[in-house]
């Protein structure tokens, strides 16, 4: 046991992993055990928790350590080009393919590919990846020739892939093929005193880099630090340490009041969405969009229901019965089932009939209005960020791949 603990400590020191939390040590131990094999590994954990470090442990402790290691963020590659990036393409296979290109699975033959944010990979690309994992072969875009490759795949995700499987957005066979050996990297808030160790390390690194005295925390400040949840995990903690080092360099010790000034105020966002506990980073903008779109959907359904009732009053009771989901939370009004529902005004004036007939057109106009607003937001974000899609996507609160798809949909390419 003592030898194992020493070995784990040596591995953490070698790969710059700070902390002694039991869950962290367990994850390191699993990475050490699986490294000498060729088994596929799925690393799970929140964004910023340090998943890429574990992929490097697996590669560098494996027989492939002299081969190439490539880390790819599947969420940052546009959907239209990800197949070409991973598997290569032939000359003339699509617009702009002026020459043939080798993909990552070809150039990394004999090495390891780390696929981060695997849950963002399009379904078509997932099928190609499954073929690589099952048979070690792939086909370039625009080619019919089958090529062989010997690549180990280590994948990572910060979302629940089983939820994506149930939603039809991730292949079930690929999930079980990737998840041969699972490794869970704990979030920073579950690592106890590791938060303090990491803060000290980041402050020390910053002081050494800029030749200044490292900052320290009072006992009260340490307590505040340990009680903060750090939704951005290690990345957020590092930014915090550097920010305080710059802006409070004249203070010998950082007290609790000063530290709280730098910590963002935590907001109590809904923890359950569609009946699922979301562990993803859900922005207020995304929640607001969901509420607005759900509301508009309900309004449209009510309008259609009213139109159907005016068209055939004898079926009004059945129409109401079929749409009871629209009136949840409203006090129930019992309607005698042996009597048809008669609308208050049977002789509807011509101008009212015209308004009723326009309901469907109004619903369509509202849908177009949503698209128009979405297009305007995208144009504004692109203009603000000088057409840099990465930063525009960040401002909009969507992935770069989703932004790329929207640009194509609204024909905004220049």
Does domain 2-186 match CATH 3.40.50.300?
Answer: yes
Of 84, 77, 40, the residue nearest 402 (C-alpha): 77
217, β-bridge pairs? 254
- The sheet carrying 152-157 orders its strands as 69-73, 112-116, 152-157, 41-44, 181-184
- Write out the CATH class of domain 192-262: mainly alpha
Supply the pLDDT for residue 414.
59
Q: What pTM value is reported for the model?
A: 0.65
Residues 170, 164 contacting (CB under 8 angstroms): yes
Residue by residue, what is the 3-state secondary structure of the chain? Answer: CHHHHHHHHHHHHHCCCCCCCHHHHHHHHHHHHHCCCCCCEEEECCCCCCHHHHHHHHHHCCCCCCCCEEEEEHHHCCCCCHHHHHHCECCCCCCCCCCCECCHHHHCCCCEEEEECHHHCCHHHHHHHHHHHHHCEEECECCCCEEECCCEEEEEECCCHHHHHHCCCCCHHHHHHHCCEEEECCCHHHCCCHHHHHHHHHHHHHHHHHCCCCCEECHHHHHHHHHCCCCCHHHHHHHHHHHHHHHCCCCCEECHHHHHHHCCCCCCCCCEECCEECCCCCCHHHHHHHHHHHHHHHHHHHHHHHHHHHHCHHHHHHHHHHCHHHHCCCCCCCCCCCCCCCCCCCCCCHHHHHHHHCHHHHHHHHHHHHHHHHHHHHHHHHHHCCCCHHHHHHHHCCCHHHHHHHHHHCCCCC
Supply the pLDDT for residue 54.
97
Structure tokens at 35: 């490294």
CA distance 70 to 81: 17
**Phi/psi of residue 136, nearest 5 degrees:** 65, 30
Residue span(s) of the chain under CATH 3.40.50.300 come to: 2-186
Residues 112, 67 contacting (CB under 8 angstroms): yes
Q: Which residues of 210-247 are buried (b: 16+ CB within 10 A; e: fewer)?
A: eeeebbebbeebbebbeebebebbbebbbebbbebbee
CA distance 338 to 369: 42
With a cut of 70, list the residues of the chain below it in pLDDT: 1-2, 266-301, 309-313, 315-370, 414
Q: Which residues of 26-62 are buried (b: 16+ CB within 10 A; e: fewer)?
A: ebbbbbbebbeeeebbbbbbbbbbbbbbbbbbbbbbb
Supply the pLDDT for residue 288.
56
pLDDT tens readout for residues 364-380: 454 456 677 788 888 88
**Degrees (nearest 5) of the Cα angle 164, 169, 173?**
80
CA distance 289 to 239: 29
Supply the pLDDT for residue 350.
52
Residue span(s) of the chain under CATH 1.10.8.60 come to: 192-262
**Phi/psi of residue 272, nearest 5 degrees:** -125, 125
Supply the pLDDT for residue 171.
96
């Amino acid at each position: 046991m003592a030898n194992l603990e020493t070995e784990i400590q040596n591995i953490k020191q070698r790969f710059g992993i700070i902390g002694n939390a039991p869950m962290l040590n367990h994850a390191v131990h699993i990475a050490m055990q699986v490294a000498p094999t060729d088994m596929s590994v799925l690393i799970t954990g929140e964004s910023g928790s340090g998943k890429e470090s574990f992929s490097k442990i697996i590669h560098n402790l494996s027989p492939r350590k002299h081969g190439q290691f490539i880390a790819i963020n599947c969420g940052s590659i546009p959907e239209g080009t990800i197949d070409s990036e991973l598997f290569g393409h032939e000359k003339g296979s699509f617009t702009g393919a002026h020459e043939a290109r080798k993909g990552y699975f070809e150039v990394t033959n004999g090495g390891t590919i780390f696929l981060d944010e695997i849950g963002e990979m399009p379904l078509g690309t997932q099928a190609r990846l499954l073929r690589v994992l099952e048979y070690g072969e792939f086909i370039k875009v625009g080619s019919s020739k089958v090529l062989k490759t010997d690549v180990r795949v280590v994948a990572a995700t910060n979302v629940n892939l089983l939820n994506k499987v149930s939603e039809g957005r991730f292949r079930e066979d690929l999930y079980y093929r990737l998840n041969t050996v699972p490794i869970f990297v704990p979030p920073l808030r579950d690592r106890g005193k590791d938060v303090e160790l990491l803060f000290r390390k980041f402050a020390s690194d910053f002081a050494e880099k800029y030749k200044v005295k490292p900052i320290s925390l009072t006992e009260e400040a340490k307590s505040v630090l340990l009680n903060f949840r750090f939704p951005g995990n290690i990345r957020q903690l590092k930014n915090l340490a550097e920010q305080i080092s710059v802006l409070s360099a004249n203070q010998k010790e950082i007290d609790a009041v000063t530290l709280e000034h730098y910590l963002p105020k935590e907001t109590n966002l809904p923890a359950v969405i569609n009946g699922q506990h979301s562990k993803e980073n859900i922005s207020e903008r995304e929640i607001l969009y969901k509420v607005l779109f759900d509301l508009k959907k309900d309004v449209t359904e009510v309008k259609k229901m009213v139109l159907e009732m005016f068209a055939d009053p004898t079926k009004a009771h059945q129409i109401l019965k079929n749409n009871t989901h629209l009136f949840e939370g409203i006090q129930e009004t019992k309607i005698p089932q042996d009597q048809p529902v008669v609308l208050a005004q049977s002789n509807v004036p011509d101008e009212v009939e015209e308004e009723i007939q326009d309901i469907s057109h109004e619903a369509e106009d509202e849908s177009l209005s949503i698209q128009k607003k979405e297009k305007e937001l995208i144009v504004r974000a692109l203009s603000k960020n000088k057409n840099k899609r990465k930063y525009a996507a960040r401002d909009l609160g969507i992935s770069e791949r989703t932004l790329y798809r929207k640009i194509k949909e609204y024909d905004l390419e220049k």
